[in-house]
């Protein structure tokens, strides 16, 4: 795939030899796979020859035919690859000061050769002309051996040391740099989680060389022993992860009578129901989450409920696609643009050092978008009273109308309770009880406690204790004193 020649140096061939720095790829196999002109250049004694490594068929051959300077000593003495590439680039450029130099690397110099990228940057900064002679890459050989046409379904090439997250597995994929057992183990674990252990993958080793090997079998049958300097994994899977979820939703709209029969309006109740179930699952997380020791069981419930909410989102996007009004990338980009606009303290020049200041920035940005809206515009009337109260209090906080700390809210709560105690009529009690509830929600905000979560937990505790009591005694036949004693026993059991 790489046949590039020249790097800001069209006249390099006419420069004096002592000013030449040539980067040469030697392909995936032995010297016999290279053009005669490239072999002749590599053997030209007028050039010093520095190789990134001799652990490659062609470069090992060269080391037996002429003097080479290898970078293998750097890999053995320096811990980070970045430091190795820096040292190697410095070594090549220093040599170029005294005469013409070839820097030879496995495969193509433009595919996966980070040392080459570092050398080219440094050479450019120093004004050192560079000529680049391309070669067959491991990608070329894999595509040829496995009949992969990159333009047919697409092709992505990933580094096993730095897998993306989210992982876009939707087109044929080559994962290179599977050079250490720890890297192989990690990649296999990620693929197993996404695709399942029965999914077929191909391990390609030493392609282009005399020991070339292709092995295709389920992910679960491979282990970390596949790692080597010239190992890659090849996948041609069904779409998985986020992109797989989008693909599944589109298929359901086409092929499932129930899914195909839905409209935006018919699914509104499903969305609110799934959101409520997610809220219930979130209430089951430890109060410090995501801090502290994770509760994996509770997080498994959250994961499932998040998927159900995501299904509703994808459902509406898919229907919007059919109408020609929505696209997954479009929805994502609208969100990105909004988040950037409303976080000028992160993406711009505004300053916000506390949550209160951030809230103020957010509300000003929203008001600017709407052309100067009223304070409570956008607070949905259909929200349940608890959530609506929180949103209204947050809006007031955004303009500075709020208590500075929790202590005066405690005092206000006691004041409202006293007024409730003194209420005599039904209307008075209704009014004063509303004030008590509203103040409790305000107190929850100041304590950093979600009032809905707190209420859900309280309801769950009450229900759980009564269910335990019901399993122990006949509740209807018990006296008030017995019920109180059993209630205390239920609390002890809970603890």
CB atoms within 10 A of CB 113: 21
Residue 245 buriedness (CB in 10 A; 0-12 / 13-18 / 19+)? middle
Q: What is the rounded (10 degree) CA torsion for 381, 384, 388, 390?
A: -170
> Residue 101 and residue 438: Cα distance in Å, rounded?
78
What pLDDT score does 2 carry? 44
pTM: 0.67
> Residue 112 and residue 130: Cα distance in Å, rounded?
18
Quote the tokens at residue 364. 């000003």
**What 3-state DSSP class applies to 230?**
coil
- Phi, psi for residue 104 in degrees, rounded to 5: -105, 135
What pLDDT score does 277 carry? 92
> Residue 228 and residue 225: Cα distance in Å, rounded?
8
- Phi, psi for residue 343 in degrees, rounded to 5: -125, 55
Helix axes 355-369, 385-398, angle to 10 degrees: 90
Quote the tokens at residue 39. 């072999």
Planar angle of CA 403, 409, 412, nearest 5 degrees? 115
CB atoms within 10 A of CB 3: 10
In sequence order, the 6+-apart residues with CB closer than 8 A to the CB of 106 are 25, 26, 27, 28, 52, 53, 56, 58, 59, 113, 230
> Residue 488 and residue 67: Cα distance in Å, rounded?
86
Q: Which residues of 367-402 are buried (b: 16+ CB within 10 A; e: fewer)?
A: beeeeeeeeeeeeeeeeeebebbbebbebebbeeeb
What stretch of H or E contains 133? strand 130-133
CATH entry, 140-238, from 3.40.50.970, 3.40.50.880, 1.10.3720.10, 3.30.950.10:
3.30.950.10
Mean pLDDT for each 10-residue chunk of the chain (495 residues)? Answer: 40 48 94 94 95 94 95 85 89 92 94 92 91 94 93 93 90 94 96 94 92 94 94 91 92 95 92 91 87 92 96 96 94 93 90 84 76 64 75 76 86 90 90 89 86 83 87 87 89 82
The DSSP secondary structure of 190-226, one letter per residue, reads: HHHHHH-TTSEEEEEESTTSTT-EEEEEEGGG--GGG
What pLDDT score does 461 carry? 86
What pLDDT score does 445 carry? 86
Sheet holding 173-176, edge to edge: 156-159, 173-176, 231-235, 200-205, 213-218
CATH number of 242-326: 1.10.287.1080
What are 452-467's pLDDT values in tens digits? 888 888 888 888 888 8
CATH superfamily of 5-136: Tetrapyrrole methylase, N-terminal domain (3.40.1010.10)
CB atoms within 10 A of CB 147: 7
| Domain boundaries defined on the chain | 5-136, 140-238, 242-326, 454-494
In sequence order, the 6+-apart residues with CB closer than 8 A to the CB of 340 are 347
């Amino acid at each position: 795939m790489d046949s590039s020649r020249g790097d800001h140096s069209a006249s390099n061939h006419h420069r004096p030899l002592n000013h030449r720095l040539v980067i040469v790829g030697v392909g995936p196999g032995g010297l016999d796979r290279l053009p005669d002109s490239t072999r002749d250049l590599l053997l030209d004694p007028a050039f010093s020859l520095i190789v990134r490594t001799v652990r490659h068929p062609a470069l090992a051959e060269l080391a037996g035919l002429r003097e080479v300077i290898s970078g293998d000593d750097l890999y053995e003495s320096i811990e980070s690859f970045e430091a190795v590439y820096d040292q190697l680039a410095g070594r090549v450029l220093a040599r170029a000061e005294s005469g013409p130099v070839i820097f030879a690397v496995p495969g193509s110099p433009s595919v996966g050769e980070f040392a080459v990228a570092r050398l080219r940057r440094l050479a450019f900064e120093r004004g050192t002309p560079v000529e680049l002679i391309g070669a067959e890459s491991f990608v070329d050989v894999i595509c040829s051996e496995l009949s992969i046409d990159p333009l047919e379904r697409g092709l992505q090439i990933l580094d096993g040391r730095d897998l993306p997250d989210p992982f876009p597995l939707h087109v044929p994929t080559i994962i290179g740099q599977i050079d250490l057992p720890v890297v192989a183990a990690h990649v296999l674990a990620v693929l197993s989680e996404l695709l399942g252990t029965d999914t077929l993958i191909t391990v390609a080793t030493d392609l282009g060389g005399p020991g070339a090997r292709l092995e295709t079998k389920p992910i679960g049958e491979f282990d970390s022993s596949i790692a080597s300097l010239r190992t890659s994994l090849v996948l041609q899977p069904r779409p998985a992860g986020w992109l797989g979820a989008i693909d599944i939703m589109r298929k359901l709209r086409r092929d499932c009578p129930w899914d195909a029969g839905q409209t935006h309006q018919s699914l509104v109740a499903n969305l609110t129901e799934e959101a409520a179930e997610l809220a219930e699952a979130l209430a089951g997380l430890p109060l410090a989450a995501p801090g502290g020791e994770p509760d994996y069981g509770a997080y498994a419930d959250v994961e499932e409920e998040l998927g159900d909410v995501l299904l509703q989102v994808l459902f509406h996007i898919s229907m919007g696609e059919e109408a020609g009004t929505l696209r997954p990338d479009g929805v994502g980009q609208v969100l990105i643009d909004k988040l950037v606009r409303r976080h000028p303290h992160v993406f711009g020049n505004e300053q916000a050092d506390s949550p209160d200041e951030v809230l103020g920035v957010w509300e000003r940005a929203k008001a600017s978008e709407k052309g100067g809206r009223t304070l409570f515009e956008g607070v949905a009337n259909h929200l349940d009273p608890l959530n609506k109260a929180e949103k209204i209090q947050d809006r007031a906080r955004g303009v500075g109308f709020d208590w500075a700390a929790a202590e005066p809210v405690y005092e206000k709560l006691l004041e409202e309770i006293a007024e409730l105690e003194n209420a005599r009529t039904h209307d008075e009690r209704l009014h004063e009880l509303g004030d008590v509830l509203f103040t409790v929600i305000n107190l929850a905000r100041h304590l950093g406690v979600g009032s809905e979560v707190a209420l859900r937990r309280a309801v769950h505790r009450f229900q759980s204790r009564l269910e335990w009591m019901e399993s122990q005694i006949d509740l209807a036949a018990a006296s008030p004193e017995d019920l109180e004693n059993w209630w205390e026993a239920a609390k002890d059991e809970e603890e």
